[in-house]
Structure 1
Amino acid sequence: MTTALFLLFFGCLALGVPVALTMGVAGLGAILIDGSLTPILATQQIFGGINSFPLMAVPFFILASELMTAFGLTQTLLRLANDLVGHIRGGVGHVNVLVSMFFAGISGSALADAAGPSAIVMKMMREAGYEKNYAGALSAATATIGPIIPPSILMVVYAISDSNVTVAGLFLAGILPGILLGLALAVVNHVISVRHGYRGREHRATSGELGRSAVTAIPAMLMPLVILGGILGGVFTPTEAGAVASAYALVLGFVTRKATWRKLNSVFVNAALTTSSVLLIVAMASIFAWLLAYLQVPQQLAALLGGLTENPTLVLILLAIFALLCGLFLDTLPALIILTPILAPIAHQFGIDPRQFAMMLVLNLAIGMVTPPIGPVLFVISTVGRLRLEALSRAVLPLLAAELAVLLLVIFVPWVSTAIPEFFGYSN
């Protein structure tokens, strides 16, 4: 059955079948070919994969992000970021980094960032004289901060797949890696700006202008604080936090009089379409992941690694390389659902902290979103910016190196992922 499963999986990928359908076809096909299991198991796994209370957080966070964008609240974050760092060397590039860090606390999605604020700042960079491919590359790289800084859709899905971690613990674990990722990209942007003579805007925001920008951005900035504060304070669960975030965004829309029935109709339709695609991937991946566990693929890989080394750090490096290679050819969410039940047990067996491994895997797959040939964020940016994918892929390389440096830091320094969760009492 193992042979049939992987042959069908890679065969469908080679034929260009969408990844979600590929996993479903491979799982059901392997069950039918083997004949030892009843096909009804496939139906049970499809339903069981999405019959999850924690998973309900995903559509709520998607809806909250759509509402905040439709009501123009992300524009206030852009204005604040511009007033804070727009005047320094490479200022508009730094605005790109900072606004992505702000927006990550709202969307939890790299694709939402790439299609929204990153695309806007990319246009600003080009108008300010930045080379168009570099502007696109920086916008793509900064979008990967979205799944790292909480709330994160990927972390919600990961926590469902690995019982050794909690959503709240992973949200806290992502804060420091997300900040380090932003700082690393800012450093690279500064170096490139000095080399190419990219300057900031001539006018530096006055204290009054900065104060007004900060005041108008407060409603948007409060959302991540409401989410994390409510979870850590025990007021609501992470799933309920998604509902609270959506309600908060909706109330803001009516208070600011930005909410109209036409906008609301568009928002709910877009959120429903995005949610449907996510849940389809989760449902189909559940069959594939269950079969991998049933066939004891993680145990076989663990035995293989055990024969190579018993050093936990070296094991984590090998797992990171494997995940990075998978991220080159698989979309992020399917890769996460497939790899978590395979690799997480191996990490646990070698004594690797579950939060450290989770951060490694989520960051690894987020980086995969800007690496060809799949690189979904690169495709979004190339489409929005009308850029050639080949030139965009070359321009993103120095930024990709900075992100890989942060990944190595997560691997070699466990407290980067564990310090904040432990401070708040989320220990294993």
Structure 2
Amino acid sequence: MSLVLSLTFIGMMVLGVPIAFAMLIAGLVAVAMMPSVTSLVVVQNMFSSLDSFPLLAIPFFILAAELMSGGAMTDVLLTFAARLVGKRRGGLGHANIATLTFFSGISGSALADAAGPGGMMIKIMKKAGYSDAYAAALTASTAIVGPIIPPSIIMIVYALTNPDVTITGLFVAGIVPGLMISVSLAVVNHVISVRRNYRSSDELFDGTPLFRLFFRSLPALFLPFIIMGGIHLGVFTPTEASAVAVVYGLIVGRFVYGALEFDMLPAILFRTVLMTSSILFIVATSAIFAWLLTVGQIPQLVTAWIAGMHLSSFTLLLAVNVLLLLVGIFIEPLPGVMIMVPILAPIADAAGIAPLQFAIVVIVNLTLGMITPPVGSLLFVTSAVSGVKMGPMVREAYPMFAALLLVLALLTYVPGFSTWLPELLGYKN
């Protein structure tokens, strides 16, 4: 059964079948090979995987990001970020990084960051003389911060897959790694901008004092603090925080910035439903795939095999990184978490690796796959919004990917980057 499941899944992927349908078809074929199991088990597992209160946070966080974007929040953050970094060489590249970092604290989605504020920054960078391919590569690379800085959709799914960690603990653990990624990309942008003499333009500089732009940006910047502060103080759960974010986004967009019109709501709701449906369908089909792996005792067999090798924690983490980087090339982060975490988390726990640290390593690894051909969804989205071909964009992304691998190495072998802040705030998992 396990062999049939794996071969069918790989065959579907080779044929270019979308990952969710590949898992569903592989699951149906594997169940059909089990005479004692009815095909209804596929439907039951898919529905039971969605019968979860924490999953409600996904559509609410998506809707909150859509409301804030429709309410001129993207323009406000972009202008503030551009003014903050100044007109020095590489300034617009730094503004791109800062804008997407700010926005990641609202959206929780790398694709939304790349398509929204990322698309706007690419156009501005082009006008200022930046290479089209470089602007697109920087945007795609920076957008991976979206799933790492809270709120994060992939962290919600990870916590549901592995009960050894909590959503709140993961949210807190992602803050420092997300900032490390942004800083590393800012260093790369500075070096390249100096070498190529990339400069800012006056398009985003209208003479408005920085403190006025800061106060205008405060309502948008305040949302992540409301989410994390409310959760930490026990005012609401992560799921309730997502609903609060929707109400806050509606109020700020309509009554503070005055840019959100009620006739915009149908389109906003449609985009939210479309994105939510895509994510939850992946979660549902991943559930049947993971169930079949469990029935086939694959996690137990892999755990026993690796345990028999008596690897040190250093070697184990290196092997996990290589495996996940390869998996991330072909599989999107959400199904990657659903499939790999039940197999790898027990192994990491047996090796004494902190659950939060391992979770961040897994999430960063799989997220890097979004900027790695041939599947890299961020590359396709960024290529679509920028009009830049994949080849030149990938070539420009090499130094950025190298910087991201360095950050991944630090997160892998220096646990404090992932665990210091959660432990400081009282979250052990």
- Output the TM-score relative to the length of structure 1: 0.97
How far off is 1:306 after superposition?
2.3
Provide Cα deviations, 1:237-272, integer angstroms capped at 9, x if missing partner. 001111110111011122133232321111001101
The change in CA–CA distance for 1:206 and 1:22 in structure 2 (over 3 A counts) is: closer
- Cα distance in 2 between the residues matched to 1:277 and 1:351: 36
Does the 8 A contact of 2:92 with 2:125 survive in 1?
yes
Superposition map of 1:27-426 within 5 A: 27-201=27-201, 209-256=209-256, 257-426=258-427
How far off is 1:37 after superposition?
2.2
How far off is 1:202 after superposition?
7.0
Provide Cα deviations, 1:42-70, integer angstroms capped at 9, x if missing partner. 12110111110011100100100111111
Does the 8 A contact of 2:82 with 2:204 survive in 1?
no
Does the 8 A contact of 2:92 with 2:200 survive in 1?
yes
Provide Cα deviations, 1:89-137, integer angstroms capped at 9, x if missing partner. 2100000111111000010110000001111111111111111111110
The DSSP-based 3-state class of the residue aligned with 1:157 is: helix
The change in CA–CA distance for 1:413 and 1:31 in structure 2 (over 3 A counts) is: same
Specify every segment of 5 or more residues in structure 1 that has no aligned partner in the other structure, as ranges.
none
The change in CA–CA distance for 1:17 and 1:206 in structure 2 (over 3 A counts) is: closer
How far off is 1:206 after superposition?
10
User: 2:10 — aligned with what?
Assistant: 10
- Aligned pair count reads 428
Q: Which amino acid in structure 2 is aligned with residue 229 of structure 1?
A: G
The DSSP-based 3-state class of the residue aligned with 1:146 is: coil
- Cα distance in 1 between the residues matched to 2:310 and 2:369: 26
Does the 8 A contact of 1:87 with 1:204 survive in 2?
no
Does the 8 A contact of 1:101 with 1:182 survive in 2?
yes
Does the 8 A contact of 2:173 with 2:360 survive in 1?
yes
- Cα distance in 2 between the residues matched to 1:250 and 1:209: 27
- Cα distance in 2 between the residues matched to 1:232 and 1:207: 39
Does the 8 A contact of 1:298 with 1:346 survive in 2?
no
The DSSP-based 3-state class of the residue aligned with 2:164 is: coil
Does the 8 A contact of 1:84 with 1:205 survive in 2?
no
- Cα distance in 2 between the residues matched to 1:202 and 1:309: 60
How far off is 1:279 after superposition?
0.7
The change in CA–CA distance for 1:227 and 1:297 in structure 2 (over 3 A counts) is: same
How far off is 1:205 after superposition?
7.0
How far off is 1:310 after superposition?
2.7
- Cα distance in 1 between the residues matched to 2:254 and 2:389: 41
Provide the alpha-carbon RMSD of the alignment: 1.6
How far off is 1:200 after superposition?
3.5
Q: 7-16 or 105-114: which moved more?
A: 7-16
Sequence identity of aligned pairs in percent?
A: 47
Q: 293-302 or 269-278: which moved more?
A: 293-302
Specify every segment of 5 or more residues in structure 2 that has no aligned partner in the other structure, as ranges.
none
- Output the TM-score relative to the length of structure 2: 0.97
- Cα distance in 2 between the residues matched to 1:23 and 1:216: 46
Does the 8 A contact of 1:78 with 1:117 survive in 2?
yes
